[in-house]
Chain A
């Protein structure tokens, strides 16, 4: 697990108030929304905001790839890396 993945897991727990959860509980390939972790649309907005603030990147809510980037921690980490180096 990369440091970035771990940081994103902590960000998810902190930003979404997931009491009683630890980073180990969120596998990198666990589906975040709907199934899996079971996050909802308000969480999506909150997490998007937290990621933009933490990593200083822009997320286009309308872009068709955004949903794919938010699929799981691994895809989010890949997205954040690509935006930071872009």
Chain B
């Protein structure tokens, strides 16, 4: 049943400041890479490339999946510069290659890999993050829909409102294995984005009940595009939710 239509009030969800950001996708790493992509955004060729996590010793890298490496690669330098802080990790699809590997073993009646199994939960990446950084701050793993970015911002701003001086938000998606591709249409290529959020009023996020066209790129990549430019507004629709990002005083 459709929700009632008509003009709806927009709720001011939260205000915050994006202190720093980093993003990675196959072939794109530096801010300059992303800003060049922003000028001419194209679907990147995802050949399974992995970002560098050479800042970790080999013994610590061995359990990091591609998705974990992406998350660590974007988040690590921000955490290094800032010290311990809560993290909100969001991924709609999580580690689809690992899930498939486990299911294939099950299907063949073979014993499951203890390593694969122990890392198959959605919060495994934040668990590894906490262990490897020695950071005991509150950490949350979310699996929301196409507007997982906005739900993660809401969660992060809740932590800021409780007094955290900064929150690290990481959103990461991996191109799924071929078997799942017909069912997953919102990951044009693998990407990870890290935002260092602090209290402030640089940005306002509003939520209204309204429908609209799906954005061409995943929300986190649209945000990166806005951060590469002076774009003052972003509007994202998912189902009946209309999220409006506004840059204040720009």
Interface of chain B: mostly helix, strand, loop or mixed: helix
* Proximity bits, B51-88, A CB within 8 Å = 1, else 0: 00000001101110000000000000000000000000
B95 to chain A, nearest CB (A): 15
Q: Which residues of A contact B113 (CB under 8 A)?
A: 46, 49
Q: Does B5 interact with chain A (Cβ within 8 Å)? A: no
Task: Out of B58, B59, B63, B114, name the residue touching A45 (CB < 8 Å).
Answer: B114
Q: Judging by beta carbons under 8 Å apart, are A46 and B115 in contact?
A: yes
CA distance A18 to B61 in the complex (A): 8
- Measured CB to CB, the closest approach of chain B to A35, in angstroms, equals 13
Interface string of B107-133 (1 = CB under 8 A from A): 000010111001000000000000000
B contact residues, total (Cβ < 8 Å): 10
Give the contact-size bracket for chain A.
Answer: 10 to 19
Interface of chain A residues 9 through 29 with chain B (CB within 8 A):
16-21
Whole-angstrom distance from the CB of A41 to the nearest CB of chain B?
9
Q: Is A34 an interface residue (CB 8 A)?
A: no
For B61, B62, B118, the residue with the greatest tally of chain A CB atoms inside 10 Å of its CB is B62
User: With A46-B113, A49-B111, A49-B113 known to touch, is A18 a contact of B118 (CB < 8 Å)?
Assistant: no
User: Can you give 14 contacting A-B residue pairs, CB < 8 Å?
Assistant: A16-B115, A17-B62, A17-B63, A17-B115, A18-B58, A19-B58, A19-B61, A42-B118, A43-B115, A45-B115, A46-B113, A46-B115, A49-B111, A49-B114
B contacts, CB < 8 Å to A: 58-59, 61-63, 111, 113-115, 118
Residues on A lying within 8 angstroms of B by beta carbon are 16-21, 38, 42-43, 45-46, 49
